Amino acid sequence: MTARTTVITVLFALGLTHVAAASDPPPMKIVPAPASQIEITNATLVPGTVSSECVSFVNHAPQAAKRVVFVFTKLDANGVAFGRDVFDRRGSFDPNGTVEGMRSGRDMFSRSKVANCHDTDMNRRTPDTIRVEITTVELADGTVWQAPLMPTATPSPVPSPTDAPAPEPASSP
């Protein structure tokens, strides 16, 4: 009897007739940044004992890029951010060259693809979506592109009971 058969036999003996498969990783939402001259062509979460967020991209600049900073923002079902990972990828990325990241666990033996991934902690809370965007690109000549800062939302003040208008006096007959 093999180890797999033994495990299945034990599960059935315990009354466990359904073994759940690992769930699919959350989808990646790629945020385009044409002004950066870097195009994200694929982003993947490769689940495992240690999960990896991976990215593939093309440098459309007329010269090599030497640094690209990606931000992976974890979002809940309502689109609210609850986690953020920064991946600062450095190297020499040729013009019109494709830089491939891992797309599945099968790619983990490809050193060049693993270099385009970083580890992330998915144990606390699993996101419904992961947003991927570029925040910084540095070209070989030293030119730096920075993503424009997004304005932070300021909540509207909630009126206090003292700010509420006074009730109209009751009219007498």
User: In a 3-state reduction of DSSP, which class is residue 86?
Assistant: strand
Question: What is the tens place of the pLDDT at every residue in 114-141?
Answer: 777 878 876 667 889 999 999 999 999 9
pLDDT score recorded for residue 13: 33
| Interatomic CA distance for residues 107 and 117, integer angstroms | 11
| Average pLDDT in the chain | 74
Please list the residues that pair with 106 across neighbouring strands. Answer: none
Question: What is the tens place of the pLDDT at every residue in 143-154?
Answer: 999 998 754 444
| Interatomic CA distance for residues 3 and 5, integer angstroms | 5
Please list the residues that pair with 87 across neighbouring strands. Answer: 70
Question: What is the tens place of the pLDDT at every residue in 61-88?
Answer: 999 999 999 999 999 999 999 889 999 9
The dihedral over CA atoms of 105, 109, 113, 119, expressed in degrees to the nearest 10, equals 60
Residue indicated by tokens 């009971």: 161
Q: Dihedrals φ, ψ of 2, to 5°?
A: -80, 165
pTM score > 0.75 for this model?
no
pLDDT score recorded for residue 16: 33
CATH number of 23-146: 2.60.40
